[in-house]
Amino acid sequence: MTIIEAISPIILMAIGLVLIAFETFVMSFVLIWFGVGFFSVGVLSHHFTFNDGIWQLATVSIVSVLLLFLLRRKFVRYFLEDDMRDDFW
């Protein structure tokens, strides 16, 4: 018995692209990682068949949270703090 049917890979990739696009307006460096998670699971779903949507969403969550914790601070330092230093000097 499946709780949620498997989500189409194209829908997953579209959600990922929309989240990445929203990140350009928000500049919080949080949405981008969930967008990357959705997009990468969409590509993975295109090549590997998931039994149901729960596994897809769980994989999106794991990938996104790992990327968020591992890379967010580096991206904030690289993109935001350098801009602030350039404006000051």
Sign, CA dihedral 58-2-6-50, equals positive
Predicted confidence at residue 88, as pLDDT, reads 46
Global pTM? 0.83
Per domain, the residue ranges of the chain are 9-88
- Give pLDDT tens digits for 48-79: 999 889 999 999 999 999 999 998 888 888 77
> And the tokens for 21?
């696009």
The 3-state DSSP class for residue 48 equals coil
Burial class of residue 85 in the structure, from the number of CB atoms within 10 Å of its CB (0-12 exposed, 13-18 middle, 19+ buried): exposed
For the chain, the C-alpha Rg in angstroms (whole number) is 16
